[in-house]
Amino acid sequence: MSAGLVVSGLSVQLGGRAIVDAIEVAAPTGSVTGLIGPNGAGKSTLMRAILGLVAATGSVRFDEADLLTLPRRMRAQFTAFVEQSSDTDARLTAREVVLLGRIPFQSIWDATPSAEDLAQAEAAMAAVDMTAFAGRLYQTLSGGEQQRIQIARALAQQPRLLLLDEPTSHLDVHAQLAMLDLLRRRARAGAAVLVALHDLNLAASFCDSLVLLHAGQVAAAGPPDAVLTPALFRQVYGVEATILRHPGDGRPLIAYDLPG
């Protein structure tokens, strides 16, 4: 019995086409699982399906819970999702956005956030190094700052299952490394982290295992060494690549061969 996320036979049909096609994925507690694959491979849809946000068939279990039939409020008390982009016209401060993550824990009769809510929000903002921005209006933050606030909002949900769709896309390299390090520490502290990444070198450096999606199906899964092979690059991405080794720790580094 492995603790964590176990997805089996999960399918999502949209307009008669299988966007996600009978997928098997595992994301164990304690590790960071990277979801990689070309645009349109079904990464975002798979994440939404795991959280019951789109209609899907199959089975999604987390520890003992069946995520597809669990009441959504209970599900939101231990799972959190960071979308690829998060825009709003609402006039909310960064702290108020982070406090949205406490909605699953609040009753409709609570007039104001509890001390626990405020403490969790402060801790989450500190974790992404955004405490100094707490009082700023969300729209006045840069793309990267907004992304970090969204991650703080997710952390405020105290998730044991954390799903993130391209959380590093607006970050500079320093912030990217800090973010993935944060996710890894969260995982080690007792969470299952499933993160979709475009940057394969980052994925290879930080993820304990990778799941490579191609046309709605799992093309390969396992440790980065097993998934990042020249043959799979050719088959899935249609590019030629050479796998090098980091001189320090020997992790795989991808060097793309130029076309022509």
Partner 1 sequence: MNRPTLATLVLSLLALLLVSMVLAVTFGPADIAPLEVWQVIGWHLGLLPESPVGRLRDAIIWELRLPRVLAAAVVGAGLALCGAVMQALTRNPLADPYLLGLSSGASLGAVGFLLAGASLLMPLGAFLGAGAAMALTLLITQLLGGATPSRAILAGISVSALAAAATSFLIFWSATGDSYREILSWLMGSLSGVVWPEALLVLAALLLAGLPVLLSGRSLDAFAFGDTAAAALGVDVTRLRWWLLGGTALLTGVLVSIGGAIGFVGLIVPHMARLATGSRHRTLLPVAMLLGASFMVWTDTAARSLFEPRELPVGIITALLGAPIFLLVLLRYRRVT
- Residue ranges binding partner 1 (CB under 8 A): 48, 51-53, 72-77, 79-81, 83, 86-93, 96-97, 100-101, 103-104, 106, 108-112, 135-137, 157
Q: Measured from the CB atom, is 81 or 233 closer to partner 1?
A: 81
Cβ-based neighbour number of residue 16 at 10 Å: 5
Give the whole-angstrom CA distance, residue 41 versus residue 50. 16
**How far apart are the C-alpha atoms of 180 and 14, rounded to whole Å?**
32
Residue with tokens 């490579």: 212
Q: CB 161 → partner 1: shortest distance, Å?
A: 12
**SS3 category, 80:** strand
Place of tokens 């086409």: 17
Which ranges of the chain does DSSP label H, i.e. alpha helix?
43-50, 72-75, 94-99, 115-127, 143-156, 173-188, 200-206, 224-227, 230-232
Instruction: Say how far apart CA 247 and CA 258 lie, in whole Å.
Output: 23
Which CB, 43 or 48, lies closer to partner 1? 48
> What's the min distance (Å) between Cβ of 15 and partner 1?
15
Compute the least distance from the CB of residue 218 to partner 1, in Å: 23
Q: Are 12 and 20 contacting, i.e. CB atoms less than 8 angstroms apart?
A: yes
As measured in angstroms, the least distance from the Cβ of 19 to partner 1 is 15
Nearest to partner 1 of 41, 134 (CB atom):
134
Among residues 8 and 140, whose Cβ is nearest to partner 1?
A: 140
Nearest CB to partner 1, comparing residues 135 and 260: 135
Count CB neighbours of 127 within 10 A: 17
Query: For the residues of 200-233, what is the DSSP string, one character each?
Result: HHHHHHH-SEEEEEETTEEEEEESHHHH--HHHI
For the CB of residue 88, give the shortest distance to partner 1 in the complex, in Å. 5
Beta bridge partners of 4: 28
Cβ proximity to partner 1: between 111 and 132 the closer is: 111
For the bound state, the minimum distance from the C-beta of residue 234 to partner 1, rounded and expressed in Å, comes to 34
Residue 194 CB, nearest approach to partner 1 (Å):
14
Write down how long the chain is. 260
Nearer to partner 1, 89 or 249 (CB): 89
